[in-house]
Each structure stands twice: as structure tokens, then as C-alpha cells.
Amino acid sequence: MSNKTELTIELEQEQIDWLAENVVDFALPDESKAARVLFAFAMSEIDSEEIFSSDNSKCLCG
């Protein structure tokens, strides 16, 4: 049984485009699956301090 909960997030267009490209490149069902893959990878492979440090958590906007 799935334990998914709907979540609304705001993304920059560049991020949406990147997700869409990877959905096509890796034959994923949709951008939601691509985002879940990213979360799973980050949660299992990368230190949270590295992800959320001030050096890495900058906005891509102008």
C-alpha cells in the first residue's frame, strides 16, 4: 500500500524544465516520480548539512 501524501511546491522554470527532460531521458512516468527519486537519493546518499548549507541552498532566480 502506498504511503504517498500530496505536496505542492514552487519551482523555478529552469527546475521544471530539468525535471521534464529527465522524465523523458529516463522514461519516468511523470515529474512527481522524478522528484521522489531526487528526494530518495538525497536522503540516502548525501549529508543534509551539505545539501542545506548556505553555500548550496541558493535560489536560482535572477
Q: What nine digits make up the cell of 10? A: 514552487
pLDDT digits (tens, 9 = 90+) for 24-51: 999 999 999 999 999 999 899 788 888 7
Residue matched to cell numbers 541558493: 58
pLDDT for 22 beyond 80: yes
Average pLDDT, whole number, for the chain? 87
Of 9, 20, 12, which is closest to residue 62 (Cα–Cα)?
12
